């Protein structure tokens, strides 16, 4: 059994690019671009590049301060722990940044089996304004394909949990697609939706995953 989570907007209500933007005064611009992308008004890869370009020359210690502010939403750590205790392979597939995901997990003292995320290159102690990683133009169904191949899991034992337009590829290929307070463009592709981590916990129990 494999459960794949989105991060920003799902496991976390922190928006990493907005936290980063608050370090150099571009948070409002970040939020506007993010909102357009999540509603499928602008291609995700383009939105990500636009947001990261706003971070050019941000000192890396300020970037780390932003990553350290990333938190899991209430109940998320308990769901992850329960899944792993039940022997479920837990993956996080996010267009967000590895360092922020790792910081949030570390704060809560939880681990997952795999993190597929992007990175912000640093040169001379500052962000370059570029972004690297598998989930810029790559999509989450491809990432899920890789994770299922690595784990040997069948597609019919996969669950995906997400909220935004860039989660659609992952939600559409999973056996069980769970929307976490999904955006209007996303809800029709979900088998079911939840609003809180407690609701997700109950759903996973009802589906006999926990």
Residues marked as catalytic: 6, 8
Alpha helices (runs of H) in 39-97, residue ranges in sequence order? 44-53, 60-67, 76-85
Token pair 């597939």 is at which residue? 93
C-alpha span between 193 and 68 (Å, rounded): 29
Nearest 5°: phi and psi at 147?
-65, -40
C-alpha span between 117 and 144 (Å, rounded): 12
Nearest 5°: phi and psi at 19?
-60, -40
Q: Are 161 and 200 in contact (CB under 8 A)?
A: yes
């Amino acid at each position: 059994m494999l459960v794949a989570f989105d991060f920003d907007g799902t496991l976390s209500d922190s928006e990493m690019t907005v936290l980063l933007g608050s370090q150099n005064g571009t948070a409002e611009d970040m939020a506007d671009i993010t909102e357009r992308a999540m509603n499928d008004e602008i291609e995700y890869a383009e939105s990500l590049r636009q947001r990261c370009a706003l971070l050019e020359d941000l000192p890396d210690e300020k970037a780390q301060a932003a990553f350290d502010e990333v938190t899991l939403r209430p109940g998320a750590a308990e769901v992850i722990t329960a899944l792993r205790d039940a022997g479920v392979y837990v993956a996080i597939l996010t267009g967000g940044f590895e360092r922020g995901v790792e910081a949030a997990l570390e704060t809560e003292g939880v681990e997952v089996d795999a993190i597929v995320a992007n990175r912000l290159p640093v040169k001379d102690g500052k962000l370059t304004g570029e972004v690297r990683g598998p989930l810029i133009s790559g999509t989450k169904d491809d990432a899920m394909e890789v994770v299922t191949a690595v784990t040997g899991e069948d597609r019919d034992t996969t669950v995906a949990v997400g909220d935004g337009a860039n989660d659609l590829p992952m939600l559409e290929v999973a056996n069980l697609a769970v929307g976490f307070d999904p955006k209007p463009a996303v809800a029709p592709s979900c088998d079911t939706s939840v609003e809180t981590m407690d609701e997700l916990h109950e759903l996973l129990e009802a589906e006999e995953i926990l």
